[in-house]
A and B are shown apart, each in its own frame.
Chain A
């Protein structure tokens, strides 16, 4: 790519970045506004954007104040549910994708299309039947009751990404390992798994976000023992019935965005393409 093209692409990227960043900055700004400033533009600078007197009040409200009992348990639920769902989904998807890409068995196509078909269903269509079923078998308002539907969301995605990833790894790698004296498990663990690591990390992040950001399932399948942050936000109440808890909601939104940012920063170095270069002649 010539440097001219690069420059133009860089310029073209600016409006996109602004477009995506402004709403996030707005949330950050709102979370720092004292309650009176929310509806009074004279207390803000840049129009109604940034508060003249930023305050941590909203944060203390959700961590130590009145919204504490709502927010902190929800944060724990979010962390546990998302991590467990990601872990199970990645492990299952890794084995499944490996089998699909390497072994020849009848029904491969069926598995892949079924996985895809599952993700075609609109989430909202599944919620009501699930709600009834969960209530009857006692999964309503439990952590597993949330993990299971999340697996249904993340597994198809994970299987598809990982299958594509495994198919890129040359067959010879594994055959060479076998000839070198490795068992199938050793070949998988010492050769295939390290090579597939970038794919596994990518899949893990996507799966984590799906679970972390889910709203519909959490809202409908939980009441208090497993409610995650996105659903809990809707239950925030203002100081009186006439004030909206906008500031607290924004503060909570900022808090739940932080793990996502950390994860991306941590793993983006692991998601390097071209790790297999040099394996074979190229």
Chain B
């Protein structure tokens, strides 16, 4: 068990390009930290620097308060699960899991190795496969063998490099919960790299969002979702992603493509003097007004639905709109940055599954202006972020994490 601290970590390659630029992170003991971002954001490089497979150009890496920049991977006592598992094909599953123990010759007697491997295999339900070779295993089983090799070591921390990206969707969901359960049960510090924001949101105690090697925001999933610091984080977190609508500022009114929204108080002050802002609206905050049950102060408008997708439990409606040229360039750039390939500016609405809106219909929609996020297009900053609320969410999440960890340890104590 230990904490990992990254202080102003920089990775510069031969051509001087900083793949990771001045990243500072603090992973507490037993915390599940996610590094997330679109491809090429430096998240894997960062992880490989932590484990020691990449040299750190600048900055300090501390494990349990000790600087380990110059230590070889084997001296850092970290366990890592690779994206392609990297199992040893010439060894059986048993020997694969036992491999780290066998390296310290004499340190672990045969009986102890056997017991440890069997316990790890039991945890991952691999007992029946111990004598098989990796070539004869399914993708999910290989994934579990790779995890077994990490568990067996009593490492200080687990590092995962996109461990689920090679599995199909169903297996990915199952393994995700399995990883979460195992992490809580072992109460082990974990850093997990993914490009999948669902994994980031569901697994992480805290999530660090990276873009082009720069840390954007590190916060609990809820804080990222409710109080993003900038346009990038808001656009990256959430599925389907947040809608960004250009809004002209006219006095205390925001003129959106479909509707005018009056703003008051704090926000009015912040947008004063700006010509144009970007308004972010989550798909689920837009409601079908014809179904009723709207909150007080909701803004209603009508729009033509271009396409609908009914999924059983929910329904998406797509509504195209013309974006101001000043903003559309910005939105296209943001889309590229989040690995998107959008061809038109459109708004996604997450309608209730009961909604009978069809393609080509004029839909009656409504949203609560209090749920709007407003961004400054020149700085990308979020103007509606409430630091007090964010701090409250962070404190609450930390408390929940501690409680979950305590419960897991109590359960473990009872079990053993």
CB pair A278–B134 under 8 Å, yes or no, is yes
CB pair A173–B103 under 8 Å, yes or no, is no
CB pair B134–A281 under 8 Å, yes or no, is no
- Tell me the residues in window 161-215 of chain A with beta carbons closer than 8 Å to chain B beta carbons: 170, 172-173, 175-183, 186, 190-191, 194-195
Q: Bits for A74-89, please: 1 = Cβ < 8 Å to B, else 0.
A: 0000000000000000
Complex Cα–Cα for A173 and B103 (A):
15
Complex Cα–Cα for A170 and B89 (A):
11
A177: B residues at CB distance < 8 A:
88, 99
Given A172-B82, A280-B84, A280-B85, answer yes or no on A186-B134 (Cβ-Cβ < 8 Å): no
CB pair B80–A181 under 8 Å, yes or no, is no
Complex Cα–Cα for A281 and B88 (A):
12
Identify the closest chain B residue to A178 (Cβ).
Answer: B73
Complex Cα–Cα for A184 and B104 (A):
14
Complex Cα–Cα for A280 and B73 (A):
21
Instruction: Pick the contact of A275: B78, B82, B90 (CB < 8 A).
Output: B90
B135: A residues at CB distance < 8 A:
277-279
CB pair B80–A279 under 8 Å, yes or no, is no
B195 interface residue per 8 A CB criterion:
no
Shortest distance between the CB of B47 and any CB in chain A (Å): 11
Complex Cα–Cα for A275 and B91 (A):
11
CB pair B87–A178 under 8 Å, yes or no, is no
CB pair A181–B86 under 8 Å, yes or no, is no
Complex Cα–Cα for A244 and B86 (A):
63
Shortest distance between the CB of A89 and any CB in chain B (Å): 24
CB pair B79–A179 under 8 Å, yes or no, is yes
B241 interface residue per 8 A CB criterion:
no
CB pair B134–A178 under 8 Å, yes or no, is no
CB pair A175–B53 under 8 Å, yes or no, is yes
CB pair A175–B82 under 8 Å, yes or no, is yes
A-B contact count (CB 8 A): 84
B51 interface residue per 8 A CB criterion:
yes
Given A179-B80, A182-B103, answer yes or no on A279-B86 (Cβ-Cβ < 8 Å): yes
Instruction: Pick the contact of A170: B51, B86, B139 (CB < 8 A).
Output: B86
Complex Cα–Cα for A57 and B163 (A):
70
Given A277-B135, A279-B134, answer yes or no on A178-B86 (Cβ-Cβ < 8 Å): no
B100 interface residue per 8 A CB criterion:
yes
Instruction: Pick the contact of B103: A181, A276, A278, A279 (CB < 8 A).
Output: A181
A interface residues, tally (CB under 8 Å): 24
Shortest distance between the CB of B106 and any CB in chain A (Å): 14
B85: A residues at CB distance < 8 A:
279-281
Interface centre among B80, B89, B99, B100 (most CB of A within 10 A): B89
B7 interface residue per 8 A CB criterion:
no
Given A175-B82, A176-B82, A179-B73, answer yes or no on A279-B53 (Cβ-Cβ < 8 Å): no
B166 interface residue per 8 A CB criterion:
yes
CB pair B100–A180 under 8 Å, yes or no, is yes
Shortest distance between the CB of A278 and any CB in chain B (Å): 3
Instruction: Pick the contact of A191: B51, B74, B88, B139 (CB < 8 A).
Output: B88
B144 interface residue per 8 A CB criterion:
no
CB pair A173–B86 under 8 Å, yes or no, is yes
B79: A residues at CB distance < 8 A:
179-180
Identify the closest chain A residue to B74 (Cβ).
Answer: A181
A178: B residues at CB distance < 8 A:
52-53, 72-74
Complex Cα–Cα for A275 and B150 (A):
24
Shortest distance between the CB of A273 and any CB in chain B (Å): 13
A181: B residues at CB distance < 8 A:
74, 77, 100, 103-104, 153
Complex Cα–Cα for A265 and B99 (A):
33
CB pair A180–B99 under 8 Å, yes or no, is yes
Complex Cα–Cα for A275 and B53 (A):
26
CB pair B89–A275 under 8 Å, yes or no, is yes
B86: A residues at CB distance < 8 A:
170, 172-173, 175-176, 279-280
- Other contacts beyond A190-B99, A281-B142: 8, CB < 8 A: A170-B84, A173-B86, A178-B73, A181-B103, A195-B90, A278-B136, A279-B85, A280-B84
Instruction: List 28 interface pairs A-B (beta carbons < 8 Å), by A numbering.
Output: A170-B84, A170-B86, A173-B86, A175-B86, A176-B80, A176-B82, A176-B86, A176-B149, A178-B53, A178-B72, A179-B51, A179-B73, A180-B74, A180-B99, A180-B100, A180-B149, A181-B103, A181-B104, A186-B103, A194-B90, A278-B133, A278-B135, A278-B137, A278-B142, A279-B86, A279-B134, A280-B85, A281-B85
